[in-house]
Amino acid sequence: MVPLGPLPRACWTPLISLLLVCCLLPPGAQGQAFRLRVEPQNPVVPAGGSLLVNCSTDCPQPELISLETSLFKEEAGEGLGWKAYWLSNVTSDSEIFCSGICNGSQMSDSSDITVYQFPERVELAPLSPWNPVGKNLTLRCRVAGGAPRAKLSVLLLRGEEVLSQQLAVGEVTTTVLASRNDHGANFSCRWELDLRSQGLGLFQNSSVPRQLRTFVLPVTPPRLFAPRFLEVGTSQAVNCTLDGLFPASEAQVQLALGDQMLNATVESYGDTLTASTTATATAELEGAQEIVCNVTLGGESQETQENLTIYSFWGPVLNLSQPTVRQGTIVNVTCAAGARVQVTLDGVPAAAPGQLALLQLNATERDDRRSFFCSAALEVDGVVLHKNRSVQLRVLYGPKIDPAKCPQHLMWKERTTQILQCQAQGNPDPQLQCLHKGSMAQVPIGIPFRVRLNYSGTYHCQAASSQGIYTVTVVMNVQERNPITITIIIAVLTILGFVAAIPASIYVFGVHKRRDIYHVNQGNAGFPLTSKTAEEPLGEPPS
């Protein structure tokens, strides 16, 4: 649609320029315009590569076709309406121009060469050896080289999971929150050069992965279980426990007694860590010491100390002047211990700590197997510790027979079972035997035996040991059983047996007589039952 009326002033200038161009064109060119083309258009070549460029036109008589570029070029061939050039060592993006003349008119065309280059290096910046759970962690990807940058992107990966993707402009950073699940995870960077629109595809490469280690160290100190006191030459168990660690298996534990490191066995169960060892007290460590438990994880540590007093407490040493003596011998009993130790012997304390306790006695048979008891007390840091010892005295004395335990008159019945009870005492234990005065026959002592008439008589029960002989006389009277009484008893038993047999015989005979065969008279129901003797008898009564 053409507007009516005069044109505005702004439209006059372009219109006049267009008319001037048309007037200056050659007569043959005013009806047709010819183009000069550069092929390929906007190519993408690898850095340092070569490229064949063709300048061509559909002009019937072109003149002076040439290629203008800053790159090194060589003519590759020419023909009617075209000319080719080799471009080599293409290292940077550049623009090339083809020009020529057609019918006296200038022709030109241009093309942009894009150089692509893979990055020389891609890496993930080193991570801290340990990263606390719950804290932000910045991951940095560094890409050196690579072109074109507009087509180059950087991805940050956790395993195969893409955390972020950005254009490779300088250093690419991403912030993540460290968690327990991240412990042991591999993080890496990957560059991608996307030349798919140029028909070359997608190129990519990844950095060396870095492993992330996260940890949790509780703010509470470890629990230390250790003794308060330890005697020189003794050992006790020491345990250290800390809960809430992650990962507990990678924590390090150190247990020390004073300046000495203790060899500990460390075990982990879930988030709990336990270290066990044995503390041994030596004379060099005597005095106030500390047991220390230190747990280290992720470059951080928690520590607990407990006080330990190592002391010497020898004794008490309880001695008898003679452990075995004859009765009437003077025996000295002594008890001693260390310099600061208070000893008490049989309830009587020594005069002062560090002094000897002494007991003296004249040994009698009542002191045989007597035990003497000594207690030692030592105060360590306000706590009184005790040790006890005991010793037994043996007194040698002659044998004795207690009349109450060995009756001198015995009256037993013939053919009865009896036990001769007789006991002897002495140290050493005496040998006891009872011998008949006349025949020297020996009667068992303390075991059952059958008494006979010839056992009657006097016996010498003698206890003998290395300390002497002791004799007690025992009279044994064995009474014969009365024969008349036995005969009467037998006769009475016979009569009783006979009397009991008569009723039994009568009962058997009566039963035998009543055993018969009976027939019912069918013709007269009013007659009583009558018996009929069996054809053969059932049995004869005993005579």
What's the one-letter identity of residue 448?
Answer: P
Give the chain's mean pLDDT.
Answer: 83
Q: What is the pTM (predicted TM-score) of this model?
A: 0.56
Model pLDDT for residues 49-86, shown as the tens digit of each residue: 999 999 999 998 898 999 999 999 999 999 989 999 99
- Residue where a domain terminates, one of 479, 502, 532: 479
In a domain, 524, yes or no: no
Closest CA to 40 of 54, 25, 61: 54
| Inter-residue contact 162 to 156 (CB < 8 Å) | yes
- What does the pLDDT read at residue 503? 57
Q: Is the dihedral of CA 317, 323, 325, 327 positive or negative?
A: positive
Residues 360 and 307 reside in one and the same domain: no
Residues 71 and 112 reside in one and the same domain: yes
| Inter-residue contact 399 to 430 (CB < 8 Å) | yes
| Inter-residue contact 69 to 87 (CB < 8 Å) | yes
Q: Rounded distance, CA 86 to CA 74, Å? A: 5
- How much of the chain exceeds pLDDT 70, in percent? 83
| Inter-residue contact 326 to 396 (CB < 8 Å) | yes
Residues 104 and 43 reside in one and the same domain: yes
DSSP H helices, 369-482, are none
Q: pLDDT band at residue 484, thresholds of 50, 70 and 90?
A: low
Phi/psi-derived region of residue 177, left when phi > 0, alpha when psi is between -120 and 50, beta in every other case: beta
The CATH number of the domain where 329 resides is what? 2.60.40.10
DSSP-derived 3-state class of residue 346: coil
Is it the case that residue 16 has pLDDT exceeding 50? no
Q: Which domain holds residue 385?
A: 317-396
In a domain, 461, yes or no: yes
**b/e burial code for range 337-370 (CB count within 10 A of at least 16 → b):** bbeebbbbbeeeebeebeeebeeeeebeeebbeb
Residues 6+ apart with CB under 8 A from 542: 505, 508, 509
Model pLDDT for residues 233-290, shown as the tens digit of each residue: 999 999 999 999 999 999 999 999 998 999 999 999 999 999 999 999 998 998 999 9
Q: DSSP letter for 221, please.
A: P
As for how many domains the chain has, the answer is: 5
